[in-house]
Structure 1
Amino acid sequence: MSFLARRLRYKIASPFIQTRLASLVSYDIYLQRRPKQSYSTAPIDKYQEKLLKKAKEQGFDSVGEFLESAKADIDKKKKDFNRIDPLKELEDYEQRMKMSANNAGMTSARGPIDASQAKVPFKTLDSFLNVEKIKELSKQEVEFLWRAKWMSKDDALCAVVPVNIFDRMMTNAKSNPIFVLPLPRAAADGKEAPDQTQSVELHYIQWQFVGPNTVHCIMTSLAEFKLHNEYAKPHTTFQFHLEMAKEKKIVLMNGQVEPDINVSLQDAQLLLLNVQRFWGAMGEETPIAKQRLKLLRDFTRGSTDFNVDLLISLSQSMEN
């Protein structure tokens, strides 16, 4: 008998193997003899009456409609649960910026607005020009007067916006009144950050529809907004006046940068440029314009697609 044959004989003959084989045979016989079990393929039938009653109570004609509605409600709750707070998402980025270098140009925080202080009435176009008189002028004459009004002021900006462009921007502003925009800042030592990325400061942008013919776009640093919330002082306010929109097809804009802060007129102009870009004033059809609008809407919805690095990239791109 060969060694292999003797080995197999030994294995089968061993008490352990015999016991194991016997148990397997017994289990196989048990499986063959046990009664067959049947499972319901329609568990919903058992509760059909209860479901139909529940459906009727909620105004549905059938169980199918009720279940479809419940599914839609669950999907909505899932989306709400997965929403993010974009402002919190930005905190990590700000922390990285602070750790990468000392940023000399960052806007210093100021005290909050005094909540007990009486609110000053907002200014209308009549605060700057006599509306009844300029209605008699041509569109070109109104534009000339408006620009001349602000020409001598070093801390002011002005513009004349075609009404169709303004309307397009307002459509997006009404559904997305809040956003953040980056402002490039130089490091204190004039050197780039170790990872070669440019330091930026994030600014909180908010649209306010203060009157039937007056719209404000206010800007403050995100750090200051997080510190004081609704009582944060804006460093720049742009006012849009619609009194000439119907007759002259133009909207008059003026803006002012507060003194004694680390935001220059050029900084405000750059922020205003990106306000126009992200809110669609420069068009919505190009690939990059669609990206900007999507990011704006992602921020409003709290979508996980909102991305700070993409925000910075799109704000610095020269494409419209």
Structure 2
Amino acid sequence: MNSGGNENMSYRSLYISKNFNLFNRCVGLPIQYRNAVALDNIRFVQTKAAKEDVLNRYKEKLEKKMKEEGAESIEKLQEKYKDKIEKTKIELNRMDPLTDLEEYERKATKNGHKVTKLRSPRSPEAPVKPYKVLDDFLKLEKIKDLSPDQVEFLWRARFQEKENVLVAVIPRDIYQKLYTNARENPSFILPLPKEEEGVEIHFIQWAFPGPNTTHCMFTSLAEYKLHKEYAKPHTTLMFHHDISDDKDIVLMNGAVEQDANITLPETQLLVMNLQRFYGALAESPASIRRLQLLKDFTSGNENFSLDVVIQEAQSLEN
């Protein structure tokens, strides 16, 4: 909405008018005094001219906002929006974990690791297919009176003859933890060891297309960074929780794309680490550390470390 955009502009204007500062350049002073004065002015003290220049540039917008909010002065307006100004500052300074991975990729290339061949993106004009629900695989009416073991048998049999598929039956309590963490941390990265390429990074995205369906998509980070929203996932997992309340199980199925540069065993390793990082295993110091990495990635925390992610993914500790 336009009003939201104007408010953001106002918050940024307030932030600039409050914090726009200049170094004292100490022109004409001997070098030793210039250094001393520079250190003394490390707090970026505003000059009167600089402050007036900023206020003049945003005067009309600030006065309009003052009138809308009934504020008596700019200082009163600043005080009113103090919390939102601080929030804006945090957002402006937030780290982008994906950008932080570029250094790791440069090192890998420098060390002679081969780069996996990239696939072409999906076409923006391609029609979006409707997502599949549990009833597309097993008719709910026919399984409603079956036991969990009988449902599991039918579920696994449904995909027995298919290639490059992943199938699982997950206890509801374990899935609930996975689901909660996915909601709070809808994207992440996972490493995949490669014999010739070293470690290949994959981007994880969660989606919630329906009330009883959750998707988890795996895309090579290189393809995601190149094609963004048009990158094609090499693997998509579908979680169906239609019968979780009645039978205490969640059904999962997934498939590896035929043209993907990844094998089924490699995908299974990614899925195993997906489970470990999203806390689906029992509580332990290792799972707590992995959950913290999830949160640091989501928040853009500067303490997030890809090296630590790789270390935790390769650790045998659960």
* Short-chain TM bin: 0.7 to 0.9
Asked whether the 8 Å contact 1:107–1:221 carries over to 2, the reply is: no
1:130 maps to 139
Q: Within 2, Cα distance between the matches of 1:131 and 1:98?
A: 50
- Shift in Å, 1:175: 1.2
Letter matched to residue 316 of structure 2: M
Asked whether the 8 Å contact 1:299–1:306 carries over to 2, the reply is: yes
Asked whether the 8 Å contact 1:169–1:276 carries over to 2, the reply is: yes
1:160 to 156, 169, 187: 169
Runs of 5+ unmatched residues, structure 1:
1-56, 189-198
- Shift in Å, 1:83: 1.4
CA shift digits 1:216-248 (9 cap, x unpaired)? 101110000011111111100111111111111
Aligned length: 251
1:298 maps to 296
- Shift in Å, 1:72: 4.9
CA shift digits 1:278-313 (9 cap, x unpaired)? 111113x32111111111111111110111110110
2:224 maps to 225
- Shift in Å, 1:102: 3.2
TM-score normalised according to structure 1 size: 0.72
TM-score normalised according to structure 2 size: 0.73
Give the fraction of aligned pairs with identical amino acids, expressed as a percent: 50
Letter matched to residue 299 of structure 2: R
Q: Within 2, Cα distance between the matches of 1:95 and 1:214?
A: 38
Larger RCO: Structure 1 or Structure 2 (Cα < 8 Å, ≥ 6 residues apart)? Answer: 1
Relative distance call for 1:286 and 1:264 in structure 2 (3 A) is same
Letter matched to residue 92 of structure 1: E
Letter matched to residue 166 of structure 1: Y
Q: Within 1, Cα distance between the matches of 2:315 and 2:131?
A: 35
Asked whether the 8 Å contact 1:157–1:255 carries over to 2, the reply is: yes
CA shift digits 1:37-72 (9 cap, x unpaired)? xxxxxxxxxxxxxxxxxxxx9799xxxx99987765
2:124 to 92, 115, 140: 115
Q: Within 2, Cα distance between the matches of 1:225 and 1:77?
A: 27
Q: Within 1, Cα distance between the matches of 2:171 and 2:80?
A: 46
Structure 2 counterpart SS, 1:239: strand
Which residues in structure 2 correspond to 1:109-258 (within 5 Å)? 109-187=118-196, 199-258=198-257
Runs of 5+ unmatched residues, structure 2:
1-67
Asked whether the 8 Å contact 1:107–1:263 carries over to 2, the reply is: no
CA shift digits 1:6-54 (9 cap, x unpaired)? xxxxxxxxxxxxxxxxxxxxxxxxxxxxxxxxxxxxxxxxxxxxxxxxx
1:194 maps to none
Alpha carbon RMSD of aligned pairs, Å? Answer: 2.4
Q: Which has the larger radius of gyration?
A: 1
1:271 maps to 270
Q: Within 2, Cα distance between the matches of 1:87 and 1:211?
A: 28
2:307 maps to 309
- Shift in Å, 1:74: 5.7
Q: Within 2, Cα distance between the matches of 1:116 and 1:70?
A: 43
1:83 to 75, 86, 94: 94
